[in-house]
Structure 1
Amino acid sequence: MSGNAGARVTGTRNRFPPQVIIAAGCLMAIMTFGPRSAIGQFQLPILGEFKFGADIFSFAMALQYLFWGLGQPFAGAIADKYGSGRVLVAGAIVYAIGLSLMTWSSTPTSFMLTQGVLLGLGISSCSFNLIIGAFGKLLPPERRSFAFGIGTAAGSFGQFLFSPLAGGMIAAYGWHTTAFIFSVLVLACIPLTIFLHKRPEPVPANATLAQRQSFGQALAEAFGHRSYVLLVAGFFTCGFQLAFVTVHFQRYVVESGLPPSIGYWAFALVGVFNIVGSMSSGWLADRMPKNWLLSCIYLSRSLVTLAFISMPVTPLSTLMFGVLTGLLWLSSVPPTSALIGVMFGTKYFSTLYGLAFLNHQVGGFIGLMLAGYLRETTGSYTIVWWLSIALGVFSAAINMPIVEKPIERREAPAAA
């Protein structure tokens, strides 16, 4: 009987080849991450129609980041317990509903509920973060780091594809129609979840200590582990920087005297060069210490930002900022997720990565709140740019002491 059970488990694990799993995950990452990364293109037409200020738009986006982060650990925990497929389907449905209802959200409260809460919860359950969790469980260890990089790069390709697409569609058909079309595209991803679902396996009689570990024990172990705490703390900076640029970069470019098209294409370059950056990061994560790779990424972001704000804002400097920022954009995700897998294994991988991502989104929430408030009160984004630089240096420093090795687990001594 044990032989049959072993065959059944193996069959479940290898139901689809790794190439098929990666391809399905990457396609879903493109179609789910693309629309939300283009939300900045909706800002000016929405403000022009609904007549509330940029502070309301920024707060709604901040809520989206916060609820994306708050939903991520719960989505990860459900995926760890019941499999990723169901969570991805539910997330896609909520995401599409939020995009559709946004077109009728003409008051600040309704806009915050749709653009903020619904989109945030939907994205938390169907974006590349859950797909990375599925990769961690479905793929063999030697393929994981690079698969994390490819999955992250696919989300970036969605950003590259949807940023100019959103700008062109909004100009041609209006932002209402564009939002409806994007919601349909998100729903079209649901069949792909078949390739990303894996039922949790029963704990065998001769289970190891890691296999017998409970959910509560896993959380206590992670937050009692110094390297995990440092890793999570450093991820705050990533969220702060990405959220600020995603939402406010377009406005910064226009207010600096450049045409909107320069902002569209610069942000599109962020997406396309992040494909190179994320895949390279995944490749490097298998060949060098992952904590050193993260430190280099955070420090390089600060240097690129410092160079950008120190020079006059021109089409060339703006496009170059898009290229260099793109190389570093989501490149922190593959080594971060790979470190979690190395330290704790894959049983609660989606949950532990979700908790790290929660802090990432808290950083995004604070970054958006500060950016919107300081722009309205000071008339510029200067303070936020400098905060972004300082946080990059901070995260580069605290990632250096992280120890890249599996946590040591020991059986409790038997009672006398």
Structure 2
Amino acid sequence: MPAAAWIVVLSAAASVSLSLGARQTFGLFLLPLGVEHGISATVLGASVAVHNLIWGLGQPIAGAMADRFGAGRVALTGAGIYAIGLLLPAFFPTPVALFVGIGVLTGLGTAAAGAGTVLGAVARAVPEHRRGDALGLASAGGSVGQAAMVPFAQWGIETGGTSFAFTLLAATMALALVICPRLEWRAPLRVPGRAPVGLAGLPALARRALADRDFALLTLGFFACGFQLAFLTVHLPAHLALCGLPTGLGVTALMLIGLFNIPGSWLCGRIGNVIRPEIALGAIYLARTVCIAIFAATVPSEWGTMIFAAAMGFIWLGTIPLTSAAIARRFGVADLGSLYGVCFLSHQIGGFIGAGAGAMVVDATGSYAAFWPVMLMVGLVAIASNWATRAPRGAVA
């Protein structure tokens, strides 16, 4: 790839690292917020659930704006909104501030600065035969952020409490001032004969895409991805603590997920160059479902948790480059940000339900035992929906 393309790929990876890395720490605050400020698990769970929903609702809009005006400007705006969302519960540790800051503002910030916005810039910057590799590398950036920010946030909680940790995470968003101008600062070059639809054409574009049987199946599978990952991100540390395992094990598990997903995302993106992305997606959901089934059926232990985290981490964000590649093969890259956003809304509805229902289950029963069978059923639906798709006949103009 030319040097200019590498700059876009690395800048996209850094932006994803900031936005996804910070949100992966939210589960660490679940128990400390209760101890320090009397905020129940349901409040944080509901806030993260709303975060997922707002992220999903904002993603098509952010993607359409990035397709039209350039991903860099949109991502920088998102980083600023994200920082405000983290500072709000830092200065006002109340349920309302948590709901508005974590639920609404960081949701909007992730939509604007996260993978759904910046991967369109990557796809436009690299040659088609290297697209899978580039999307995988950019997606792996989220794992770098997770591996780095999880211990960083845990150190902040242990050193100065939850407010101090939220402030530290907000300060990292200042790095966007250096990253985003190198991403795609100007409006992207138009594909010959194909201008992006922008916000005005987004509703019609979404209707046309969802009327396509195979895009609808791909979107249904993405629901399961959001459901499973949101539940594990928010509730895995608390689940381990309730099982009597060391508090630090949840931090270690989230770190392992991030570390192992760095090579995993790259490999998944590379596989998308060789086989049809939907087939690879079905295989990822199958592997996830098997891992969850084994973890739920065995007695929790430190080594078992670390093996589970490593296995899940290897395929954690691998769905992102594969889903982007599948959409690009069917519809081209001019509206990739918009179309990925439409598909991603389903992912975030799944995340909204997974995070929120998990919180209600643990508050009602004191454990997560009743939730694991639901995780398995959702995974089976994702496998079937992706493997039921048909190969595209060609990009839709």
Scaled to the shorter chain, the TM-score interval is over 0.9
**What is the match of residue 353 of structure 1?**
340
In structure 2, C-alpha distance between the alignment counterparts of 1:277 and 1:393, rounded to whole Å = 21
Q: CA deviation at 1:377?
A: 1.6
- Of 1, 4, 12, the match for 1:25: 12
Q: CA deviation at 1:201?
A: 3.7
Equivalent pair of 2:79/2:173 in contact (CA under 8 Å): yes
- Of 275, 282, 285, the match for 1:298: 285
SS at match of 1:62: helix
Larger radius of gyration: 1
**What is the match of residue 82 of structure 2?**
95
- Of 144, 156, 165, the match for 2:152: 165
Please give the residue correspondences for 1:211-290 in structure 2 after superposition, counting only pairs within 5 Å: 211=195, 215=202, 217-290=204-277
Letter in structure 2 aligned against 1:235:
F
Equivalent pair of 1:26/1:155 in contact (CA under 8 Å): yes
CA RMSD of aligned residues (A): 1.8
Equivalent pair of 1:344/1:406 in contact (CA under 8 Å): no
Q: CA deviation at 1:32?
A: 2.5
In structure 2, C-alpha distance between the alignment counterparts of 1:117 and 1:17, rounded to whole Å = 35
Equivalent pair of 1:223/1:229 in contact (CA under 8 Å): yes
Q: Cα–Cα, structure 1 residues 404 and 195, in superposed 2: closer, same or farther, change >3 Å?
A: farther
Please give the residue correspondences for 1:311-326 in structure 2 after superposition, counting only pairs within 5 Å: 311-326=298-313
In structure 2, C-alpha distance between the alignment counterparts of 1:239 and 1:121, rounded to whole Å = 16
In structure 2, C-alpha distance between the alignment counterparts of 1:244 and 1:409, rounded to whole Å = 35
In structure 2, C-alpha distance between the alignment counterparts of 1:212 and 1:57, rounded to whole Å = 38
Q: Cα–Cα, structure 1 residues 407 and 218, in superposed 2: closer, same or farther, change >3 Å?
A: farther
**What is the match of residue 83 of structure 1?**
70
Letter in structure 2 aligned against 1:380:
S
Q: CA deviation at 1:273?
A: 0.7
Question: Identity over the aligned pairs, expressed in percent?
Answer: 33
Q: CA deviation at 1:383?
A: 2.2
Question: Are 1:120 and 2:107 an aligned pair?
Answer: yes
- Of 179, 194, 200, the match for 2:181: 194
Q: CA deviation at 1:24?
A: 1.7
In structure 2, C-alpha distance between the alignment counterparts of 1:302 and 1:202, rounded to whole Å = 41
Q: CA deviation at 1:284?
A: 0.8
**What is the match of residue 9 of structure 1?**
none
Aligned length: 392
SS at match of 1:17: helix
SS at match of 1:383: coil
Q: CA deviation at 1:275?
A: 1.1
In structure 2, C-alpha distance between the alignment counterparts of 1:202 and 1:258, rounded to whole Å = 54
Deviation readout 1:317-375 (Å, 9 max, x if unpaired) = 11111111111211111111100001001111100001111110000001112111111
- Of 160, 170, 176, the match for 1:183: 170
In structure 2, C-alpha distance between the alignment counterparts of 1:62 and 1:263, rounded to whole Å = 20
Equivalent pair of 1:215/1:348 in contact (CA under 8 Å): no
In structure 1, C-alpha distance between the alignment counterparts of 2:387 and 2:340, rounded to whole Å = 19
Equivalent pair of 1:222/1:228 in contact (CA under 8 Å): yes
Q: CA deviation at 1:216?
A: 5.1
Q: Cα–Cα, structure 1 residues 100 and 409, in superposed 2: closer, same or farther, change >3 Å?
A: closer
Following TM superposition, where does structure 1 have runs of at least 4 consecutive aligned residues deviating by more than 4 angstroms? 210-217, 406-410
- Of 43, 56, 59, the match for 1:72: 59
Q: Cα–Cα, structure 1 residues 144 and 352, in superposed 2: closer, same or farther, change >3 Å?
A: same
In structure 2, C-alpha distance between the alignment counterparts of 1:226 and 1:328, rounded to whole Å = 26
Letter in structure 2 aligned against 1:174:
G
In structure 2, C-alpha distance between the alignment counterparts of 1:406 and 1:182, rounded to whole Å = 45
SS at match of 1:125: helix
Equivalent pair of 1:244/1:364 in contact (CA under 8 Å): yes
Q: CA deviation at 1:403?
A: 2.4
**What is the match of residue 371 of structure 2?**
384
In structure 1, C-alpha distance between the alignment counterparts of 2:47 and 2:274, rounded to whole Å = 40
Q: Cα–Cα, structure 1 residues 359 and 25, in superposed 2: closer, same or farther, change >3 Å?
A: same
Equivalent pair of 1:88/1:193 in contact (CA under 8 Å): yes
Q: CA deviation at 1:85?
A: 1.6
Q: CA deviation at 1:288?
A: 1.4
| TM-score normalised by length of structure 1 | 0.90
Between 1:27-36 and 1:193-202, the stretch displaced more is 193-202
- Of 298, 323, 330, the match for 1:336: 323
Letter in structure 2 aligned against 1:68:
W
Q: CA deviation at 1:217?
A: 4.8
Equivalent pair of 1:290/1:404 in contact (CA under 8 Å): no
Question: Are 1:393 and 2:366 an aligned pair?
Answer: no
In structure 2, C-alpha distance between the alignment counterparts of 1:315 and 1:336, rounded to whole Å = 33
Q: CA deviation at 1:31?
A: 2.4
Q: CA deviation at 1:225?
A: 0.9
Deviation readout 1:73-124 (Å, 9 max, x if unpaired) = 1101111121112111110100001111111333322221111001111111
Q: Cα–Cα, structure 1 residues 202 and 166, in superposed 2: closer, same or farther, change >3 Å?
A: closer
**What is the match of residue 130 of structure 2?**
143
Equivalent pair of 1:339/1:404 in contact (CA under 8 Å): no
In structure 1, C-alpha distance between the alignment counterparts of 2:341 and 2:44, rounded to whole Å = 26
Q: CA deviation at 1:212?
A: 8.3
Stretches of structure 1 lacking an aligned partner (at least 5 in a row)? 1-13, 411-416
